[in-house]
Chains A and B, each alone.
Chain A
Amino acid sequence: MTTLVQALVNALNLGGLYALYALGVAMVFGILRLVNFAHSSLIMAGGYTLVFTASLPLVVRLALTVAVCVALAMVLELVAFRGVRSAAPETMLVTSFAVSMLLSSLAESLFGALPRSTDVDPVFRESWTFGQIYLPKINAVTVVVVVVLIGGLGLFLTRTPAGLRMRAAAEDFATARLLGVAANRVISLAFAISGVLAAAAAVLLLGANGSVTPTFGFNAVLFGLIAAVVGGLSSLRGAVAGGFVLGAASQLLQEALPVGLAPFRDALLFAAVFCLLVVRPQGLIRSGQGVRV
């Protein structure tokens, strides 16, 4: 019983994180049909912001992290992605890949390849123990942050005019534009939201890891991408569901795999994703007509 509860707690934590990464990727993909590898660069930039603002009060650090991530997301959209908007999705994929590599080399060049460590908040290192169940406080923080962000995003999308315009653009961009929805503004907004999600990811990841490297966030985005693919890249609900499914599957594999195979958990996960993609390419990724700008 306790092992089950413990596994559930871990799966929830992992799933929440994956959902957070997946949402950032799906947000941009839904609007632009761009698989944004550079989402990892946003998380990395957030991480370094936290490192370099270590002396400031926590609230200021968090605000700065969000500001940096949002600003970088919007700058990348303007400088790198606006120019390839009408290109094939694969060309956009190569571009985002190039941008993420460029920014991680830039970070290495500026801050060095060695990990830079910082403490987000002492709370992140504490934990509760209920009988035999071990619950790090950061897990609780993670789940709360993820739930608040997902809920807030849901409210924004369903209850505000700007959210309605985003949903319309995600379904049929050309028609949305005919009705007066400004393409550039919607796309910028999508990137800005992905920036907020990246900032949250940076805080939670750094809270758990304690240090930042130039490739910080890259694995997170790989898992987020996979989660988003599992849920059907263009759907935000799917991204959240995919995140939790992947989190649970990961946890399950961890527990269930025989000792000899346990190290191959990631290999199995990604092989499964490969199979999923080749078996149901259309079902998962609809390159619907009239959606891209």
Chain B
Amino acid sequence: MNGLLRRAGGALGVPSALFAGIVVVALLATTGPASLERLAVGGLVNIVLVIGLYVFVGNSGVWSFGHMSFALVGGYVAGLLALPVRLKGQLLPDAPALVRELHAGPFVAVVVGGLVAAVVAVVVAVPLSRIGGLSAGLATVSLLIAFSAVAAQWQSVTRGQKGLSSIPTSTTMPVALGWVLVALLLAWAYQRSSFGIRLRASKSDEVAAAASGISVPVQRGVGFVLSAFLTGIGGALFALQLGSINPDVFYLDYTFLIITMLVLGGAGSLTGAVAGSVAVSALAEVLRRAEGGSLLGLPVPARPGLADVVLGVVLVVMLLRRPSGLTGGRELRLPRRRGERHRPPAVTRDASEPIALAGAVAGAGPETRREDSR
């Protein structure tokens, strides 16, 4: 019994440690001005979104550029549910009765936002999970453009480009922290489950995985739906933090930000997803101050957009020099307590390592070549 408890503790070591780190950073932010706290909440929402993307990309090795579709769905659904019925009557007189009359509290709104995103993902996943690689990347971009176009044109429900506003805000620091914890635990439990392990097997060798009886489409589909659920939650939290949502927020810029976070931290591990989000949020905040004209008290020439330039440079350099990210695709190593005998913490090496190797070879000289001759 004791051993079992200890094993459970060991199994949850990584998400607990990550959560503890996030809490410390978030609490530090609350000691600052209110604007900093708002930013910290935004950063937490981004962590949920990055974990959402990681659940699919990190475990399957297939890139999705369309996950913001699910944030869009989650955000609109939660926003519509949270809006008071009386207000909806004024804002959306032409909406279907169901949309106008349903109302839910913030928690239910967020959960339903995630669930609707997951249901949409089931429909998408059926065809999508059969393909991988470049085709999947392009298909997901097309998906995002299509979703965004719908959000921008469906006047009666989304109010088109004007978007929804006056949504009662509810995403506070404790709420956001709570959802980060949920996302961490779900992502961790999934990647340690037999589903996650099978999906990871298909990432390192799709053919071998299929040959040993793993249905790669099914496993990808499961990962995709869970990933979309978390992304939908993230989108819902976003809408309920700002009190508004419009079609442009979850488009290519936000996609870029979330991908930057994941690549920078290392798409192969949950630790990487979290480290990348925190690092980019911190960097973005420093750069934002630089844009505002001062950095650590020093005057800096104000340049709007500079933050994005620096982020872009960081991402490109990272892709060229260290495509497996800060963490190299490994999970956090927890110090082992003395006298305790359990398995060493899982060091999950992932398939991005050969890429890193190839990148290093490519970086070493002007000439590169294929490793296999035919």
In this assembly, does A135 line the interface, its C-beta being within 8 Å of a C-beta of chain B? no
- Docked-complex contact A275 and B127, CB < 8 angstroms: yes
A287 to B373, CA, bound (A): 16
The tally of CB-CB contacts under 8 A between chains A and B is 177
B141 contacts across to A, CB distance below 8 A = 222
A95 to B314, CA, bound (A): 11
In this assembly, does B194 line the interface, its C-beta being within 8 Å of a C-beta of chain A? no
A183 to B369, CA, bound (A): 9
In this assembly, does B133 line the interface, its C-beta being within 8 Å of a C-beta of chain A? yes
B63 contacts across to A, CB distance below 8 A = 90, 93-94
Residue with the greatest number of chain B CB neighbours at <10 A, chosen from A102, A222, A273? A102
B155 vs chain A, min Cβ distance (A): 8
Chain A residues 90 to 135 lying within 8 A of chain B, measured CB to CB, are 90-91, 93-95, 97-99, 101-103, 105-106, 108-109, 112-113
A87 vs chain B, min Cβ distance (A): 5
B373 vs chain A, min Cβ distance (A): 7
Partner of B315, one of A98, A112, A229, A266: A98
- Docked-complex contact A95 and B316, CB < 8 angstroms: yes
In this assembly, does A184 line the interface, its C-beta being within 8 Å of a C-beta of chain B? yes
B374 vs chain A, min Cβ distance (A): 6
A-contacting 9-mer, from B25-33, B73-81, B146-154, B176-184: B146-154
In this assembly, does B366 line the interface, its C-beta being within 8 Å of a C-beta of chain A? yes
What string of 1s and 0s marks CB contacts (under 8 Å) between B125-159 and chain A?
A: 00110110111111101110111011001000000
**Please, could you name 24 A-B residue pairs with CB atoms under 8 Å apart, sorted by A?**
A35-B137, A86-B368, A86-B369, A89-B134, A89-B137, A91-B355, A94-B319, A98-B312, A101-B312, A102-B312, A102-B313, A102-B315, A102-B316, A105-B308, A109-B303, A109-B305, A184-B366, A222-B141, A264-B153, A270-B146, A270-B149, A274-B146, A287-B134, A289-B374
Interface on A for B, CB 8 Å cutoff?
Answer: 33, 35, 80, 82-91, 93-95, 97-99, 101-103, 105-106, 108-109, 112-113, 174, 177, 183-184, 214, 218, 222, 225-226, 229, 263-264, 266-271, 273-275, 277-279, 281, 284-285, 287, 289-290, 292-293
Interface on B for A, CB 8 Å cutoff?
Answer: 62-63, 65, 127-128, 130-131, 133-139, 141-143, 145-147, 149-150, 153, 252-253, 256, 259-260, 263, 303-309, 311-313, 315-316, 319-321, 323, 355, 358-359, 361-363, 366-370, 373-374
Sort A-B residue pairs by CB-CB distance and give the 4 closest, nearest first.
Answer: A102-B312, A105-B308, A281-B135, A108-B305
